[in-house]
């Protein structure tokens, strides 16, 4: 069987949240760091530029200047549907469309190859595809927990992608769907939020049995779990999924981009996500796009942990080639 | 090697000193606050703001939310889906209080409740509480 190592490694600026939000690094400094972390970049719209959902001419200019100076590749722009931004109701499809169009136009202006869509955008996908085709920017639904490969919702999205049949619409799997366990930090966050120990234990038990979120919420509510417990469960079920990396085979033709989500690196490995199998699956099924490191955590040194993540991926690439 | 700056705290109640101030002829004090998310949010995503000073809970009617110089009553935030709180901007909470705060340290406790409007699994409230001992800034005249 022929094997490819043609996928490229880059970094999502979400990884640098600590330094960025604590005013240790400016946006320009993150661009500089990215050049040493593979050179492919992903930015998060409402985190990394003002005037979201619009891209200002000023940001376009300064962004492109930094791309040139540091020799970067703008890989992916994280757009948002934000359907719950109004307190009394969800956004209508027309409102979603008006909110999404400037984000896609902005991403294209900045030179990105891919724009991440949330699955909420599926109701307007048919209207967005002609725009994406015109601007030559690929759109991908992020497959982020609870959207695992086998989830009913994911299957609906795949069906739509198959029907629309445009190379400008596909998916962006997030490594968080390939978890083997809930990280100890996320358990501690539940404690810090004031979720009682018996509720935490029950919730972890439900997670390990692959119980769906609605059923988990129902069971935890019946045990007396309050609004905080439900919010914590929402986070857990929105962070850790139980897809099998091997199932990437069935969707590989639709994969436009890949989020290398990770929470910890311990002894050179991600303890809660199945990276070895994941890297091997990406190679076995000949993925040719980018994997961007997407660190989610509170380290004091995001650069070092992203480097460790990328070293891990390279090590698994090498081990696959044997 | 570049010097690494000291990180600015990301909690709702910032580390900046409290300032006595006068707003629309009303005496009071100002606390600098931050958005606790990782991304900008429209003000309509703020479900609640609560504050207590030295253990005394502040009435919402006595608070004014100030963002980039624009003043908003807390009861108006829900309507402001087109006003964005940029993630790197500090906002201010003005608290009407006759005479302002006495000099010295005060215990400032606050809670910001937001809806993160993008969560795949649905609409959830996020509770971000923080407590700080803050001094009152000396007035420079």
pLDDT in tens, B91-122: 999 999 999 999 999 999 999 999 999 987 78
Work out the minimum CA distance from B36 to partner chain A, whole angstroms. Answer: 9
Task: Please count the other Cβ atoms lying within 10 Å of the Cβ belonging to residue A260.
Answer: 29
Segment B13-25 shows an average pLDDT of: 95
> Chain A to chain B, count of Cβ pairs less than 8 Å apart?
91
Question: Of B8, B47, B127, which has the smallest distance from its Cβ to A22's Cβ?
Answer: B8
Contact B123 A238 (CB under 8 A): no
Q: What is the mean pLDDT of each run of 10 residues along chain A (322 residues)?
A: 72 97 96 98 98 98 98 98 97 98 98 98 98 98 94 97 98 97 94 94 95 92 92 90 96 98 97 97 96 94 97 95 76
* C-alpha–C-alpha distance, residues A263 and B97, integer Å: 45
Task: Report the range of poorest mean pLDDT among A210-219, B10-19, B62-71, B75-84.
Answer: A210-219
Contact B120 A145 (CB under 8 A): yes
B103 touches chain A (CB under 8 A): no
Query: Chain A: residue nearest B90 by CA?
Result: A21
Judge contact between A119 and A96, C-beta under 8 A: no
The reported pLDDT for the residue numbered B2 is 67
Share of chain B above pLDDT 70, in %: 97
Task: Please count the other Cβ atoms lying within 10 Å of the Cβ belonging to residue A43.
Answer: 23
Specify the pTM: 0.93
The reported pLDDT for the residue numbered A201 is 96
Contact B87 A21 (CB under 8 A): yes
Q: Which residues of A touch B (CB under 8 A)?
A: 14, 17-19, 21-24, 44-47, 50-52, 80-88, 118-119, 144-147, 193, 213, 227-228, 230-231, 234-235, 237-238
Task: Please count the other Cβ atoms lying within 10 Å of the Cβ belonging to residue B68.
Answer: 12
Work out the minimum CA distance from A255 to partner chain B, whole angstroms. Answer: 19
The reported pLDDT for the residue numbered A95 is 98
The reported pLDDT for the residue numbered A1 is 42
Task: Report the range of poorest mean pLDDT among A2-11, B3-12, B75-84.
Answer: A2-11
Contact A23 B40 (CB under 8 A): no
Instruction: Output the DSSP codes for A59-76.
Output: HHHHHHHHHHHHT-EEEE
Assign A203 to helix, strand or coil.
Answer: helix
Q: Is residue A53 reached through a cis peptide bond, with omega within 30 degrees of 0 on the bond before it? A: yes
CA neighbor of A144 nearest in space, from A136, A135, A153: A153
Helix (H) or strand (E) holding A303: helix A302-321
pLDDT of B141 over the 60 cut: no
Task: Please count the other Cβ atoms lying within 10 Å of the Cβ belonging to residue A151.
Answer: 18
């Amino acid at each position: 069987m022929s094997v490819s190592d043609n996928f490229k490694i880059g970094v999502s600026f979400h990884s640098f949240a600590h330094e960025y939000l604590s005013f240790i690094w400016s946006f320009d400094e993150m661009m500089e760091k990215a050049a040493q972390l593979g050179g492919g970049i992903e930015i998060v719209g409402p985190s990394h530029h003002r005037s979201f959902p619009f891209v200002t001419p000023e940001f376009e200019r300064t962004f492109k200047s930094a791309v040139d100076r540091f020799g970067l590749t703008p890989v992916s722009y994280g757009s948002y549907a934000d359907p719950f931004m109004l307190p009394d109701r969800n956004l209508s499809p027309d409102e979603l469309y008006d909110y999404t169009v400037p984000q896609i136009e902005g991403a294209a202006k900045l030179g990105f190859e891919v724009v991440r869509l949330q699955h909420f955008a599926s109701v307007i996908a048919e209207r967005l595809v002609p725009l994406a085709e015109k601007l030559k920017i690929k759109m991908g639904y992020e497959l982020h927990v609870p959207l695992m490969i086998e989830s009913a919702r994911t299957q609906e999205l795949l069906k739509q992608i198959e029907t629309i049949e445009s190379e400008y619409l596909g998916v962006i799997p997030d490594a968080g769907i390939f978890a083997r366990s809930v990280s100890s930090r996320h358990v501690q966050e539940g404690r810090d939020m004031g979720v009682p120990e018996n509720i935490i234990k029950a919730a972890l038990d439900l997670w390990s049995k692959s119980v769906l979120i609605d059923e988990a919420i129902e069971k935890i509510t019946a045990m007396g779990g309050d609004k905080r417990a439900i919010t914590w469960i929402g986070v857990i079920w929105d962070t850790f999924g139980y897809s099998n990396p091997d199932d990437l085979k069935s969707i590989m033709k639709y994969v436009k981009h890949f989020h290398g989500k990770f929470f910890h690196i311990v002894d050179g490995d991600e303890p809660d996500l199945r990276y070895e199998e994941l890297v091997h699956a990406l190679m076995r099924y000949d993925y040719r796009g980018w994997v961007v490191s997407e660190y989610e955590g509170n380290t004091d040194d995001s650069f070092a942990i992203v480097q460790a993540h990328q070293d891990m991926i390279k090590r698994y690439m090498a081990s696959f080639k044997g | 090697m570049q010097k690494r700056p000291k990180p600015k705290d990301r909690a709702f109640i910032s580390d900046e000193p409290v300032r006595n101030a006068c707003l629309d002829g009303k005496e009071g004090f100002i606390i600098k606050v931050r958005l606790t998310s990782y991304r900008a949010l429209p003000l309509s995503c703020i479900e609640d703001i609560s504050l207590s000073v030295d253990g005394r809970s502040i009435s919402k009617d006595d608070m004014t939310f100030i963002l980039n110089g624009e003043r908003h009553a807390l009861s108006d935030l829900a309507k402001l889906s087109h006003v964005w709180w940029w993630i790197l901007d500090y906002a201010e909470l003005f608290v009407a209080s006759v005479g302002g705060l006495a000099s010295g340290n005060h215990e400032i406790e606050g809670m910001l409740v937001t809806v993160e409007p993008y969560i795949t699994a649905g609409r959830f409230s996020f509770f971000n509480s923080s407590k700080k001992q803050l001094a009152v800034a000396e007035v420079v005249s």
